[in-house]
Amino acid sequence: MARLHSAARLARTALASRLLAHGFYAGQDQIMLALNGEDGQTPGALAARLGVRPPTITKTINRLQAQGFVEKRASDNDARQALISLTAAGRDAIQAIEKSVRKAEKQALKGLDKKDQKALSKLLARIEANLSGTETIETEAAEDLDD
- Residues, the chain, total? 147
- Give the DSSP letter of residue 136: -
User: How many Cβ atoms from other residues are within 10 Å of residue 29's Cβ?
Assistant: 22
Q: According to DSSP H, which parts of 2-147 are helical?
A: 2-20, 28-37, 43-50, 54-66, 88-109, 114-132, 137-146
* pLDDT category of residue 137 using cuts at 50, 70 and 90: very low
Q: Where are the domains of the chain?
A: 2-110, 112-147
Distances (CA, A) of 64 to 35, 52, 55, 112, 126: 12, 16, 14, 35, 34
Class of domain 2-110: mainly alpha
Look up the pTM and report it: 0.78
Q: What is the pLDDT of residue 143?
A: 53
Per-residue pLDDT averaged across 113-142, rounded? 81
pLDDT > 90: percent of the chain: 75
User: How many Cβ atoms from other residues are within 10 Å of residue 61's Cβ?
Assistant: 22
List pLDDT tens digits, range 40-54.
Answer: 999 999 999 998 998
pLDDT at 63 over 80: yes
Per-residue pLDDT averaged across 21-50, rounded? 93
pLDDT at 146 over 90: no
Per-residue pLDDT averaged across 112-124, rounded? 94
Crossing angle for the helix pair 137-146 and 114-132, nearest 10 degrees?
A: 140
